Amino acid sequence: MENSLPSIPAKRYFTIGEVSDLCGVKPHVLRYWEQEFTQLRPMKRRGNRRYYQHHEVLMIRKIRDLLYDQGFTISGARNKLHEIVQMEGDKRRHGEVMLDGIEIMDAADSGLGDFPDSADFEDSDMLNDGQDLPDGQAAQQRLQLVRRELFEIRDLLSAAH
């Protein structure tokens, strides 16, 4: 069934409506899955508007496959996804290539938090040029931006194959 889904365009962020169309799942189901699957954390902006990145769209497709095509329960799919993420994390730690574009970025592992809600999508706005920030926070903010961009590039490259 996943083969009948449309290809994911090369965009940086997707709205919940776009993800709904790309994954064949209604928006209210996506919001519910956020509560059930801790790996699924879209960026939220003003008014709690959700913006998903490429790796999250891939993860939603995997969740959809587990639930709808393979017949897992929510609990079973959660366990299976956790197992997949752990397996991919082990491969990543050993320098192997990641499969299916599953994002393993876990706040506990990464040491980097989410961007502030007021952060804009333009790189120049995301970096506040160190004004009003201690040196360590400004550097961490720059590293966050570079890290996210590298993950996006990796995901786009893996989707092209």
**Does position 70 have pLDDT exceeding 90, yes or no?**
yes
What is residue 121's predicted lDDT score, i.e. its pLDDT?
42
| Residues 74-94, mean pLDDT to the nearest whole number | 87
What is residue 115's predicted lDDT score, i.e. its pLDDT?
42
Distance CA 42, CA 104 (A): 14
Quick check: pTM over 0.85? no
User: Quick one: which of 59, 54, 21 has its CA closest to 40?
Assistant: 59
pLDDT band at 96 (very low <50, low <70, confident <90, very high): low
| Residues 142-154, mean pLDDT to the nearest whole number | 81
Go through 36-72 and write b for each residue having 16 or more CB atoms within 10 A of its CB, e for each that does not.
Answer: ebebbbbbebeeeebbbbbbbbbbbbbbbbbbeeeeb
Taken in order of first residue, the domains within the chain and their CATH numbers are 2-160 (1.10.1660.10)
